[in-house]
Amino acid sequence: MSLRSPLEGCELTEGPGGLLLRDLSLARRNGVRGTGAREWLLSQGHTLPDAPNQIVASGESGFVMSLSHREFWLLQPVSEASSSRPASEAVASGVWPLYCQHSHAWLQLAGEPRAEVMAKLCGVDLSEAAFPLGSVAQTQVARVSVSIAAHQNENEQPVFSIFVDQSLAHYLWEAIEDAMGEWLE
């Protein structure tokens, strides 16, 4: 399986106010779904969010993002993606693998004015007061369905991780870049 980012050539964009948009599409991520997913992840030693639409640190450099009571994504921003072929069988009774690595691009927006930038594109209030670290929203940004997680990056800087269908990644990248430029005005 090929490891190419849908955002090839768009690895990093810097903007005013310390804004930084980067492509993490080649960072490792996978997940599990099913009635036994929570219990299985706990048995594997993962720290899990208390409720859906939350993200928590798990392990030395990873995160677990809960999108529902039965769907969890394992995110490792400092590890490279695997090129191994995904298995299709259950990993345990009632637990099925998710291959978000091959379906979703991963954008990350850092910088103090990140919520103001996103306000130009998203109807959800992503300010720290309304959307604190650890929050996840499944919403639309620039009319594209995304999942957004507020957490700290590997440098303990607050960021938004944005997951979007790979076929729409370049469009969303350009929309965010444009909003970053408008922030100056």
At 83-134, the pLDDT tens digits run: 665 556 678 889 999 888 888 999 999 999 999 999 999 999 999 999 999 9
Structure token digits, residue 40: 């299985």
Indicate the DSSP class of residue 24. -
* pLDDT at residue 1, as a whole number: 41
Q: What is the pLDDT of residues 12-57, one digit of tens each?
A: 999 988 999 999 999 999 999 999 999 999 999 999 999 999 999 9
Q: Average pLDDT over the chain, rounded to whole? A: 91
What's the confidence (pLDDT) of residue 50?
Answer: 96
pLDDT tens, position by position, 126-168: 999 999 999 999 999 999 999 999 999 988 999 999 999 999 9
For position 100, what pLDDT does the model report? 85
Which residues lie below 8 Å from residue 177, measured CB to CB, with a gap of 6+? Answer: 13, 15, 21
Q: Which class in CATH covers the domain with range 17-182?
A: alpha beta
What is this structure's pTM? 0.93
The residues spanned by each domain of the chain are: 17-182
Banded pLDDT at 183 (limits 50, 70, 90): low
**Contacts with 74 (C-beta within 8 Å, 6 or more apart), sequence order:** 29, 30, 31, 32, 46, 58, 62, 63, 64
